[in-house]
Amino acid sequence: MAGAVTKTTPLRLVVAVLLAFLAVTASAYLQAKSPATKGDFRYGANFAVASGTLLNQLLFRKKHLNVDQITPYSLGIQIGWFKKVLAAIASTDVQRREIMASSLFLVGEIGANDYNHPFFQNRTLGFVRPLVPRVIRSIALSVEALIKLGAKNIYVPGIFPLGCVPRYLYFYRGGEPGDYDSAGCLRWLNGLTADHNRMLKGKLRELGRAHPGVSITYVDYYNEVLSLITRPAVNGFAAGTVLRACCGGGGPYNANLTLHCSDPGVVPCPDPAKYVSWDGLHMTEAVYKIMARGMLDGPFATPSIMSKCNHS
Ligand SMILES: *[C@@H]1O[C@H](CO)[C@@H](O)[C@H](O)[C@H]1NC(C)=O
Ligand SMILES: *[C@@H]1O[C@H](CO)[C@@H](O)[C@H](O)[C@H]1NC(C)=O
């Protein structure tokens, strides 16, 4: 998912950035038949697609994955949509570059689905691990495409700790004690996540050196979410529920893979704000709010987004 936000008053910025998070579960906010006017797009546009990947659907098909659940709208396609919106809101090259230079771009969080799809189709770590450098290259290409159009302020989040996600904990249940860290998360899966994030940070530093004058900032979703799981009480979460979904089909972690939150008869927990995980895969609104604040005000993005805003 990539979101673009035109620099404007702080309030508008908050709304637009939060939308980028919430759209993970919604379908594309930006659609061909969207009633939004060109004027609306000047304040922000969200290109998020539910279950969107970085890698092309074709690649998954070639690797013999079932692509019924994998959308064809990879990040590259979303960048194509972005170019169309840009062309629609400004008629001259000078205007377009002016809009790019005064806008803020949030590229991601994206990448987790590239790993989720194969894992939930029973592929091994040996299958998924080699995808990581390709995923990172794909993020870099998208960031470069935005820079080429004139972007000056880009935020790129890493992925959150997949080893603490209830659906994964259920899927790989019954492991050896040594498979779990002190928080109860799967070590090897958090290891994969950490590898992705480390490579992403390195790539963003490289891009920053290659493009002086462009601010490219890594956003640390991994440590932000992990801190909620390891120190739940600090943020009002219940210790016993950090690895359990609020809304699910029962069983350990309340993340039964055959019965989902959206299925008839599944009743959400009465106190979602005390949970980290909403449906076993996505976080609760309470968590997204904390993540948004950590990026807007810091410390999980340096410089924070608000410190870049024009407060006049
Ligand atoms: C994965 O393996 C499980 C257990 O063997 C099986 O029930 C399930 O159908 C498999 N899923 C896919 C997508 O192949
Ligand atoms: C999930 O829950 C349903 C309903 O209780 C049950 O029929 C099904 O066997 C469970 N599936 C798994 C994988 O535990």
β-bridge partners, 157 = 219
Determine contact, residues 126/95, Cβ cutoff 8 Å. no
pLDDT digits (tens, 9 = 90+) for 73-119: 888 888 888 888 889 888 999 999 999 999 999 998 889 999 999 99
* Residue of minimum CA distance from atom 8 in ligand 2: 258
Query: How far apart are alpha carbons 255 and 258 in whole angstroms?
Result: 9
Q: Is 220 exposed, middle or buried (0-12, 13-18, 19+ CB in 10 A)?
A: buried
- Residue scoring higher pLDDT (136 or 33): 136
User: What one-letter code names the amino acid at 231?
Assistant: R
Predicted pLDDT at 37: 56
pLDDT band, very low/low/confident/very high, at 22 (cuts 50, 70, 90): very low
Query: How far apart are alpha carbons 117 and 69 in whole angstroms?
Result: 8
> Which protein residues are within 6 Å of ligand 1, measured from CB?
121-122
pLDDT digits (tens, 9 = 90+) for 193-203: 999 999 999 99
- Would you say the CB of residue 251 lies under 6 angstroms from ligand 2? yes
Predicted pLDDT at 310: 65
pLDDT over 50 (residue 19): no
**Mean pLDDT of the chain, nearest integer:** 86
pLDDT band, very low/low/confident/very high, at 13 (cuts 50, 70, 90): very low
pLDDT digits (tens, 9 = 90+) for 137-183: 999 999 999 999 999 999 999 999 999 999 999 999 999 999 999 99
Predicted pLDDT at 216: 97
Ligand 1 mutation target, pool 122, 124, 168, 257, most atoms within 8 A of CB:
122
β-bridge partners, 45 = 4
Q: What percent of the chain has pLDDT over 70?
A: 86
How distant is the alpha carbon of residue 205 from its chain centre? 20
Query: How far apart are alpha carbons 255 and 88 in whole angstroms?
Result: 43
- Residue scoring higher pLDDT (36 or 71): 71
* Residue of minimum CA distance from atom 12 in ligand 2: 256
Residue the block writes with tokens 């690895």: 243
pLDDT band, very low/low/confident/very high, at 38 (cuts 50, 70, 90): low
- The DSSP symbol for 284 reads P
Of the bound ligands, which one is closest to the alpha carbon of residue 69? 1
Of the bound ligands, which one is closest to the alpha carbon of residue 121? 1
- Residue scoring higher pLDDT (25 or 85): 85
Predicted pLDDT at 146: 95
pLDDT over 60 (residue 3): no
**H or E element at residue 153:** strand 153-157
Predicted pLDDT at 36: 54
pLDDT digits (tens, 9 = 90+) for 261-298: 989 999 999 999 999 999 999 999 999 999 999 999 99
Structure tokens at 161: 């700790």
Determine contact, residues 28/52, Cβ cutoff 8 Å. no
> What domains can be seen in the chain, in order of their start residue?
2-165+185-222+285-308 (3.40.50)
pLDDT over 80 (residue 309): no
pLDDT over 50 (residue 136): yes
Predicted pLDDT at 32: 39
CA–centroid distance, 116 to ligand 1, in Å, is: 14
- Would you say the CB of residue 77 lies under 6 angstroms from ligand 2? no
Instruction: Show the 3-state SS of 53-95.
Output: CCCCHHHHHHCCCCCCCCCCCCHHHHHHHHHHHHHHHCCCHHH
Beta strands 153-157 and 103-107 are parallel
Within a 13 Å sphere around the CA of 312, how many CA atoms are in the beta-carbon half?
1
Residues 6+ apart with CB under 8 A from 23: 1, 29, 46, 48
Backbone angles phi, psi at 271, to 5 degrees: -130, 65
- Would you say the CB of residue 259 lies under 6 angstroms from ligand 2? yes
Buried b (16+ CB within 10 A) or exposed e, 87-123: eebbeeeeebbebbeebbbbbbbbbbbbbbbbbeeeb
